[in-house]
């Protein structure tokens, strides 16, 4: 630690100032150009790949914690994902029309991995030649300038609580994907954030589910597949089979992807009545009753269970999570009964959106062959956050980074699932062992937020820890690029994208062996998996288990720098892209589609 040159003493004064200006679910600004700071515009995105590193290094305008505008909020070159469709993908012969009905979509309405998955899978299927649309609530917080070619498509009525609600359907393009935005004229989906508005969320999503089917009915559009996600849209398969299939919709078949079994959409019969169904019909074990309340509260239903029962295919997001959900949790019996239509497909990442060789948010680009830009990203982030860095040491700039101080990042929603006690322990452990750590996280629970604020107060004044309580897409890209390690200590993790994104940006994963983490990370010290080894695993949920993995990662980093470099290059080339797994979804679609 004493080898470090501390950058700035007023770092945290500035950072705390900015904490409170960012909020959960803040909408990122990909594709939006703000032209009020030309200097950083020159610095970021100046080279496509990590070519003349020293030149880039000397020309870079370095950020400082005392900058009036923090470095992740400055100007970035416009990023037009419309032009980033992969061109070399072979087209499928048997083409489908798929409509995703979802509560989230990256980057315009992203809260967590669900948004990334919808966009990534939709883009992968589009590039294989399929017709794909996404249907999304027109949240008030969506920035309209992020939507290309936005136009009103249809005005129609959809049902809620005994009334027909005038509703607009808009059409626009997001990241090259056609999106239909549903905008009711009532209070639903109003507010600053995707979730947590001052309206009844369950009723709003039931309304949205019906409004999507109503729109199909009104326009006569009948896709082959309606692909729904999570509890929010789980009312749709029930509405489809018990209402719209008796009206005009015949062709669509339903797929549900469960991204997280923990959220299941607790629903009363009365609430189901409000979308026009007879709630009492669904209060049976084979339909949608919440099994835990049988005998004392038959009123309580579970939308996710209804979605599982009424969909033609049920997918969850990794093979290990599939097994876990069949063995534990109260929905296990429903899943076992529906085992023949239930499968696990590992999520992918969108390798055009997450590409360190072209990422507009990075101060220097890099790839597995030209890795030097990664060092610059690390230094850039260290300087910008006021973390100790070796920039001021004598010698050639690029070569003077001796990299004895591992930088660990943890980018996550701050919820119990993510292993909060392990994150807080890691902060202490990393500091004690001479590393640096940045937590970028947003809590939805006030108690958790206060706990992390207290931690930020305690640690952010020093030179090795930064706890940033906000949502920032831009900063997340920079942190993945800067990191030597990405920590994912989840108690359970259906799939997890952070470890995959981290690897794509050369950050070695240190993760708890559960769910999709167990399917994507293989331990460096496990000789039986030497050829696929790519990170450090631990199994227990105790602090000692985490220490064991972190200590092994730190030793490897410090004592075997050449081998570490080899691992960094290796993980950057692992193919976790959607092109690898979208085909499995297409197989599922084909297995249930209505044959002509
Ligand atoms: P989950 O869906 O449970 O939130 P995943 O690992 O599947 O977890 O996906 C999380 C996604 O959200 C990743 O793209 C991650 O980078 C992003 N993310 C999480 N928290 C933040 C944050 N505070 N700021 C920016 N991005 C975040």
Each residue's pLDDT tens digit, 75-121: 888 776 655 655 578 899 999 999 999 999 999 999 999 999 999 99
Instruction: Give the span between the Cα atoms of 424 and 434, in whole angstroms.
Output: 16
Residue 579 pLDDT: 86
Which has the higher per-residue pLDDT, 565 or 16? 565
Q: Three-state SS for 400? A: coil
Q: How far is the CA of 515 from the centre of ligand 1 (A)?
A: 16
Band (139; pLDDT cuts 50, 70, 90): very high
Instruction: Give the span between the Cα atoms of 4 and 31, in whole angstroms.
Output: 37
Instruction: Specify which residues 151 forms β-bridges with.
Output: 171
- What is the bridge-based pairing of β-strands 313-316 and 536-538? unpaired
Q: What is the three-state SS of 24-57?
A: CCCCCCCCCCCCCCHHHHHHCCCCCCCCCHHHHH
Could you confirm whether domain 93-316 is CATH 3.40.50.2000? yes
Least reliable range by pLDDT among 10-24, 100-114, 133-147, 410-424: 10-24
Q: How far is the CA of 74 from the centre of ligand 1 (A)?
A: 21
- pLDDT(52) > 80: no
CB 489 within 8 A of CB 418: yes
What's the token pair of residue 289? 């009753």
Instruction: Specify which residues 132 forms β-bridges with.
Output: 98
CB 255 within 8 A of CB 338: no
Domain residue ranges of the chain, discontinuous segments joined by +: 11-28+36-49+370-576, 93-316
The residue whose CA has the least distance to atom 14 of ligand 1 is 113
Residue 80 pLDDT: 66
Query: Cα 461–467–469 angle (5° rounding)?
Result: 125
Residue 75 pLDDT: 87
Those residues whose C-beta lies under 8 Å from the C-beta of residue 434, and which sit 6 or more positions away, are: 1, 404, 405, 464
Which has the higher per-residue pLDDT, 28 or 543? 543
* Residue 124: CB atoms within 10 Å: 25
Q: Which of 366, 326, 324 is nearest to 483 (CA)?
A: 366
CA of 440, closest atom in ligand 1: 23
Mean pLDDT (whole number) for 189-200: 96
Instruction: Give the span between the Cα atoms of 41 and 80, in whole angstroms.
Output: 16
The residue whose CA has the least distance to atom 12 of ligand 1 is 112
Indicate the helix (H) or strand (E) that contains 438.
strand 436-442
Instruction: Give the span between the Cα atoms of 326 and 306, in whole angstroms.
Output: 17
CA of 488, closest atom in ligand 1: 6
Which has the higher per-residue pLDDT, 80 or 330? 330
Q: How far is the CA of 113 from the centre of ligand 1 (A)?
A: 6
Q: How far is the CA of 441 from the centre of ligand 1 (A)?
A: 8
- The residue to which tokens 């050369």 are assigned: 506
Counted residue by residue, the chain has a size of: 596
Which has the higher per-residue pLDDT, 399 or 325? 325
Mean pLDDT (whole number) for 10-38: 35
Q: Is 26 in the pocket of ligand 1 (CB under 6 A)?
A: no
Residue 182 pLDDT: 98
Band (529; pLDDT cuts 50, 70, 90): confident
Residue 293 pLDDT: 82
Each residue's pLDDT tens digit, 475-485: 999 999 999 99
pTM assigned to the model = 0.88
Output the average pLDDT for the chain.
89
- The residue to which tokens 């920039």 are assigned: 391
CA of 498, closest atom in ligand 1: 6
Band (54; pLDDT cuts 50, 70, 90): low
Q: Name the superfamily (CATH) of residues 11-28+36-49+370-576.
A: Glycogen Phosphorylase B; (3.40.50.2000)
Each residue's pLDDT tens digit, 254-267: 999 999 999 999 99
CA of 497, closest atom in ligand 1: 6
CB 425 within 8 A of CB 459: no
Q: Order across the sheet with 407-413: list the strands.
A: 465-469, 436-442, 407-413, 485-488, 508-512, 536-538
CB 61 within 8 A of CB 190: no
Residue 60 pLDDT: 85
- pLDDT(184) > 50: yes
Band (580; pLDDT cuts 50, 70, 90): confident
CA of 516, closest atom in ligand 1: 7
DSSP state of 337: H
Residue of 25, 105, 112 best suited for mutating to test ligand 1, as the one with most atoms within 8 Å of CB = 112
Please give the share of the chain, as a percent, with pLDDT higher than 90: 81
Least reliable range by pLDDT among 161-165, 254-258, 282-286, 415-419: 282-286
Those residues whose C-beta lies under 8 Å from the C-beta of residue 122, and which sit 6 or more positions away, are: 98, 100, 132, 134, 177
Query: Cα 183–231–422 angle (5° rounding)?
Result: 115
Each residue's pLDDT tens digit, 485-504: 999 999 999 999 999 999 99
11-28+36-49+370-576 and 93-316: identical CATH topology: yes
Instruction: Give the span between the Cα atoms of 191 and 194, in whole angstroms.
Output: 8
**Torsion angle, CA of 31/37/38/41, rounded to 10 degrees?**
-40
Q: How far is the CA of 143 from the centre of ligand 1 (A)?
A: 20
CB 192 within 8 A of CB 23: yes
Q: How far is the CA of 393 from the centre of ligand 1 (A)?
A: 35
Q: Is 494 in the pocket of ligand 1 (CB under 6 A)?
A: no
- Can you spell out the DSSP letters for 287-327? TTB-GGGTTT-TTEEEHHHHHHHHSSEEEES-HHHHHHHHH
Q: Is 472 in the pocket of ligand 1 (CB under 6 A)?
A: yes
Whether residue 591 is preceded by a cis peptide bond, meaning omega within 30 degrees of 0, is: no
**Cα radius of gyration (the chain):** 24
Going 134 to 139 to 140 to 142, the CA torsion angle's sign is: negative
Instruction: Specify which residues 157 forms β-bridges with.
Output: 166
Mean pLDDT (whole number) for 201-214: 98
Each residue's pLDDT tens digit, 402-449: 578 999 999 999 999 999 999 999 999 999 999 999 999 999 999 999
- The residue to which tokens 């998996």 are assigned: 529
- pLDDT(337) > 80: yes
Band (314; pLDDT cuts 50, 70, 90): very high
Q: Three-state SS for 144? A: helix
Mean pLDDT (whole number) for 66-74: 95
* Residue 184: CB atoms within 10 Å: 21
Band (3; pLDDT cuts 50, 70, 90): very low
CA of 413, closest atom in ligand 1: 20
């Amino acid at each position: 630690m004493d080898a470090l040159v501390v950058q700035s003493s007023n770092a945290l004064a500035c950072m705390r100032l900015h904490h409170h200006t960012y909020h959960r679910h803040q909408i990122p600004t990909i594709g939006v150009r703000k032209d009020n700071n030309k200097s950083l515009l020159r610095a970021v995105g100046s080279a496509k790949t990590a070519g003349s590193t020293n030149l880039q290094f000397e020309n870079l305008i370095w950020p400082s914690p005392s900058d009036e505008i923090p470095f992740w909020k400055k100007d970035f070159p416009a990023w037009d994902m419309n032009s980033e469709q992969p061109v070399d993908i072979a087209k499928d012969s048997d083409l489908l029309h798929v409509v995703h009905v979802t509560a989230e979509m990256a980057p315009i309405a992203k809260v967590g991995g669900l948004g990334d998955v919808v966009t990534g899978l939709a883009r992968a299927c589009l590039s294989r030649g399929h017709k794909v649309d996404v249907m999304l609530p027109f949240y008030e917080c969506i920035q309209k300038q992020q939507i290309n070619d936005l136009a009103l498509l249809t005005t129609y009525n959809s049902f809620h609580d005994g009334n027909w609600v005038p509703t607009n359907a808009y059409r626009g393009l997001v990241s090259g994907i056609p999106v239909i935005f549903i905008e009711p004229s009532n209070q639903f989906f109003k507010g600053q954030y995707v979730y947590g508005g001052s309206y009844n969320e369950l009723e709003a999503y039931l309304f949205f589910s019906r409004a999507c089917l109503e729109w199909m009915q009104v326009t006569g559009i009948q896709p082959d597949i309606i692909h729904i996600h999570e509890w929010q849209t789980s009312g749709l398969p029930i509405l489809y089979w018990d209402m719209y299939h008796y009206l005009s919709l015949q062709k669509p078949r339903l797929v549900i992807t469960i991204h997280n079994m923990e959220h299941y959409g607790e629903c009363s019969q009365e609430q189901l009545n409000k979308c026009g169904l007879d709630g009492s019909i669904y209060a049976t074990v084979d339909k949608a009753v919440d099994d835990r309340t049988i005998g004392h509260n038959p009123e309580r239903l579970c939308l996710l269970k209804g979605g599982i029962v009424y969909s033609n295919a049920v997918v969850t997001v990794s093979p290990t999570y599939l097994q876990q959900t069949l063995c534990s949790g109260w929905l296990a019996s429903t899943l076992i009964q529906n085992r023949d239509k239930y499968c696990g497909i590992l999520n992918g990442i969108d390798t055009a959106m997450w590409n360190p060789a072209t990422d507009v948010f990075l101060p220097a680009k890099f790839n597995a062959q030209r890795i030097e830009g990664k060092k610059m990203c690390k230094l850039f982030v260290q300087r910008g956050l006021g973390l100790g860095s070796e920039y001021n040491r004598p010698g050639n700039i690029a070569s003077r980074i001796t990299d004895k101080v591992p930088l660990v990042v943890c980018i996550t929603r701050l919820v119990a699932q993510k292993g909060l006690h392990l994150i807080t322990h890691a902060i202490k452990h990393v500091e004690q062992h001479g590393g640096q750590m940045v937590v970028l996280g947003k809590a939805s629970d006030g108690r958790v937020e206060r706990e992390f604020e207290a931690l930020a107060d305690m640690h952010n004044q020093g030179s090795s820890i930064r706890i940033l309580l906000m949502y920032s897409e831009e900063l997340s890209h920079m942190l993945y690029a800067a990191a030597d390690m990405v920590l994912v200590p989840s108690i359970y993790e259906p799939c997890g994208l952070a470890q995959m994104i981290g690897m794509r940006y050369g950050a070695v994963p240190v993760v708890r062996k559960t769910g999709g983490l167990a399917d994507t990370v293989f331990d460096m010290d496990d000789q039986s998996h030497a050829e696929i080894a790519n990170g450090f695993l631990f199994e227990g949920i105790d602090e000692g288990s985490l220490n064991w993995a972190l200590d092994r990662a730190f030793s490897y980093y410090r004592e075997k720098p050449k081998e570490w470099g080899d691992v960094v290059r290796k993980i950057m080339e692992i193919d976790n892209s959607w092109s690898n797994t979208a085909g499995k979804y297409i197989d599922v679609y084909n297995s249930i589609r209505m044959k002509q």
